[in-house]
Amino acid sequence: MPAMKTAHLPRCCSPLNDHWPFTQPLLGAHLISTHFDAALVDDADYAAAGVHPVRGVAKRQAEHLAGRMCAREALYRVTGVASVPAVGEDRAPQWPEQVSGSITHSQGWAAAIVAPAQQWRGLGLDVERRLSSERAERLAGEILTADELSRIAPLTPELRAWQISLTFSLKESLFKALYPLVLTRFYFQDAEVLSIDSAQQTARLRLLIDLSEAWPAGSELSGLYAELDNQLLSLVAIAAD
C-alpha cells in the first residue's frame, strides 16, 4: 500500500519516514516514524489530523500527536484505512481487530508499527534514551533481576549502562506485546533477558511468572533492537499460531 498523499501533517512533525531500522525484516509489518518539536504543537492540529486531544504540557501533547500520526500512516499501509487508534481505559492504544500495533516516543522522536493480526498477534515497540553510567547503576536493581545483575557484573561501566538501557527497553516492548493478549500487568522483575547477540542485534527473553495458560513461567520470546543516535529501539513480535 503506497503512502497517503493528502494526509494533514502537524507543523510539529517532520515528514513521515518508513525506514526499517532492524537487521531482520518482519513480514507484513510497517514501521513509520517522525521527529517532533513540542514548541510547534498547535491545538488546531488535533482536529485537522482527526486525533482526540490530550491534556498536559506541550511535550506530552506533541508526542501523543506525533505517535498517532505514525500510527495512522502505518494503519493505512496495512489496511487501506487511515484511522487513528483511540486510547483505552488502561491508556493502551485500541487497534482494529484485524491488526496488531504498537506506538513509542522519546526525546523528540515517535514511531508506530502495525502488522496484520493473522501474521503477528502481538507487537511491542519501545524507544529509550541511553542511560548514563550513574543513572543506570541507580536503576539497575529495579530493572534487572539478580541473575541479570550477575551476568553484567564483569562488564565495564559503559557496557553495563548500555545493557541496562537495552534491558529496560526490551522489557517495555515485551509488556506491550503481551499485555493485550493476557490483560495482566507485569513488571521488570517478572521477566529476564537471557542473551543479547550484538552482531545480529537480537535478544532472547524469558517470563519468570505465569501470565496465563498460554504464557506460563519459562516461556521464551525473541526480540530485535537497533541503535538510533543516543537512543535504543527494541521490538518484540509474537507470531500468530
The helix (run of H) or strand (run of E) holding residue 34 is: strand 30-35
Please tell me whether 68 is known to bind a ligand: yes
Please tell me whether 126 is known to bind a ligand: yes
Beta bridge partners of 204: 195, 222
Please tell me whether 172 is known to bind a ligand: yes
Chain-centroid distance of CA 84 in Å reads 17
Please tell me whether 220 is known to bind a ligand: no
Q: Which of 76, 195, 71 is CA-nearest to residue 125?
A: 71
Please tell me whether 128 is known to bind a ligand: yes
Please tell me whether 171 is known to bind a ligand: no
Exposure string for 153-170, b = 16+ CB within 10 A, e = fewer = eeeeeeebbbbbbbbbbb
Please tell me whether 105 is known to bind a ligand: yes
* Residue 120: count of CB within 10 angstroms of its CB: 22
- Going by the annotation, the residues of the binding site for Mg(2+) are 126, 128
Binding residues, as ranges, are: 60, 68, 104-105, 126, 128, 172, 176
